[in-house]
């Protein structure tokens, strides 16, 4: 069965000094270890997470946008989704 990521209300996304970051809203704001900085790829994926797209669909979008093969894109996507889960930014649900 396919899985799809769903954003939670645990973080807010902000652009600060040209960098996109996820900031927890339920933890102490001074806890800098809880702030998640995103690169171009992770920022792209964050924007594509709409609660409807499956992990496979996100991988296909990643391949098309960054011209990478499906295996590499899948590996990078899984790592990112795991990191976002650890920060509380997303939950994975069965599609």
> How many domains does the chain divide into?
1
Where residue 33 falls (left for φ over 0; alpha for ψ -120 to 50; beta otherwise) is alpha
pLDDT 10s digits, 3-29: 999 999 989 999 998 899 998 886 554
pTM over 0.75: yes
Give me the domain span that covers residue 54: 3-94
CB 20 within 8 A of CB 6: no
pLDDT 10s digits, 47-80: 999 999 999 999 999 999 999 999 999 999 999 9
Q: 94: how many CB neighbours lie within 10 A of its CB?
A: 8
Using pLDDT thresholds of 50, 70 and 90, give the confidence band for residue 33: low
Residue 33's CATH number: 1.10.10.1150
Average pLDDT, the chain: 90
CB 27 within 8 A of CB 34: yes
């Amino acid at each position: 069965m396919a899985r799809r990521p769903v954003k939670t209300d645990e973080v807010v996304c902000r652009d600060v000094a040209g960098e996109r970051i996820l900031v927890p809203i339920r933890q102490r704001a001074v806890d800098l270890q809880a702030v998640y900085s995103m690169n171009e790829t992770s920022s792209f994926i964050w924007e594509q997470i709409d609660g409807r797209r499956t992990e496979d669909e996100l991988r296909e979008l990643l391949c098309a946008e960054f011209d990478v093969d499906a295996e590499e894109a899948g590996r990078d996507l899984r790592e990112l989704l795991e990191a976002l889960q650890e920060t509380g930014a997303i939950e994975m649900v069965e599609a």
